[in-house]
């Protein structure tokens, strides 16, 4: 799938439709196996949101003011979003939600953001 260059103000629409894009220090990609869609701020080291199996997950760790703005610009409208810490989000990206929850024995508590 080709990546589209967009402005940050248009990013939410691309996120909601799960389209890969590049914006100003925000970008989104499907994982290599196309299992999960991931929205990043400033690089692959900071995933903000992950979409897998019909569910959104958010990185709940403390972040910079600018990354908080990026998260607000890309937050899927009306979605129930489950928040996890950064390491769990990385596990979801690499292993999938089922394996990540199993390995950490993490409860899945929905948080609407």
Instruction: Report the domain count for the chain.
Output: 1
- Average per-residue pLDDT for the chain: 90
Q: Which stretch of 3-7, 49-53, 105-109 has the lowest confidence by average pLDDT? A: 105-109
Q: In this structure, are residues 83 and 23 in contact, taking their beta carbons and an 8 Å threshold? A: no
- C-alpha distances in angstroms, 52 versus 49, 62, 68? 10, 23, 22
Taking only the tens place, the pLDDT of each residue in 41-94 is: 999 999 999 999 999 999 999 889 999 999 999 999 999 999 999 999 999 999
Distance (Å, whole) CA 105 – CA 62: 23
Q: Locate 79 and state its tokens.
A: 């979605």
**Exposure b/e, 12-51, CB count within 10 A at least 16 = b:** bebbbeebebebeebbbbeeeeeebbbbbbeeeebbbbbb
Percent of the chain with pLDDT strictly greater than 90: 79
Domain hosting 44: range is 4-111
Q: What is the pLDDT of residue 113?
A: 54
């Amino acid at each position: 799938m080709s990546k589209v260059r967009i402005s940050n103000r248009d990013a939410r629409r691309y996120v909601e439709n799960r389209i890969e894009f590049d914006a100003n220090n925000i970008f989104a990609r499907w994982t290599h196996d196309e299992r999960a869609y991931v929205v990043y701020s400033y690089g692959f080291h900071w995933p903000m949101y992950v979409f897998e199996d019909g569910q959104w997950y958010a990185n709940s760790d403390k972040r910079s003011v600018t990354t908080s703005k990026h998260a607000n610009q890309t937050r899927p409208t009306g979605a129930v979003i489950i928040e996890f810490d950064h390491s769990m989000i990385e596990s979801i990206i690499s292993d999938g939600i089922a394996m990540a929850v199993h390995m950490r024995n993490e409860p899945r508590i929905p948080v609407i953001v």
